Amino acid sequence: MVSLPQRMRKLQTKLLAIRLGSGAVILPKDVKRIHLRFAKRIEGGHMGPRKFMQYELIRLKYHNPAVSMTVDRTALAEDAAVMSVHFTQPAEDGTDAQLTDRVQTIDMKLRNNSEILEQLVQLTKAQPVEPTAEEIEELKDLEEQRVKGARDSARSAEVRARVKREKELLEQARGDMAAQVA
């Protein structure tokens, strides 16, 4: 098993990728639900929605845990790929209004993930999340570690290759010797 700091670096990288990146936006309070409907396979312009689900939707969910986000992938390739955003008007007394007031849709077909996100941000007037100073520091540290790790692994790979080659030659020589004797 790899060492704990190594594992923690990997985990930290993963968690930072959930927190920061494209799609890290805070939706306004009146957004109650986001529903995606697109096809299982990418033919017919369904790749963008899938990429959006893989990358942006995760960060969107992290920053908006109270917004219900559902994915329906039963559509056929020729069907439309639609994102529907459900808005609810907050009631005056502060309690959650259960009735959805309006639903607006975004056509995702033949669009890539960043275009879809742009449209969503435009539609909902969502605020982007900026990385804090600590997070920037952390990202920098992790990047440094990655660069250093790549350098070190290249170096040790070289050493290991050399040792292996020497060992092979030795082995070969021994084999030759045994053949000579026999």
Q: Which helix (H) or strand (E) holds 86?
A: strand 82-87
By DSSP bridging, strand 102-107 and strand 82-87 are antiparallel
Binding mask 72-101 toward another protein (x if CB under 8 A, else -) reads ------------------------------
The one segment of 5-13, 40-48, 119-127, 150-158 that binds another protein by CB under 8 A: 5-13
Q: Which is nearer to another protein, 8 or 150 (CB)?
A: 8
Q: Which is nearer to another protein, 68 or 153 (CB)?
A: 68
Q: How far is the CB of 91 from another protein (least distance, A)?
A: 16
**Assign residue 106 a region: left if phi > 0, alpha if psi is -120 to 50, beta otherwise?**
beta
**CA 173 to CA 131: how far, in whole Å?**
60
Q: How far is the CB of 60 from another protein (least distance, A)?
A: 8
Query: CB 169: neighbour CB atoms within 10 A?
Result: 10
**CA 49 to CA 41: how far, in whole Å?**
11
Positions that interact with another protein (CB under 8 A):
1, 3-5, 8, 11-12, 14-15, 18, 53-54, 57-62, 65-71, 165-166, 169-170, 172-173, 176-178, 180-181
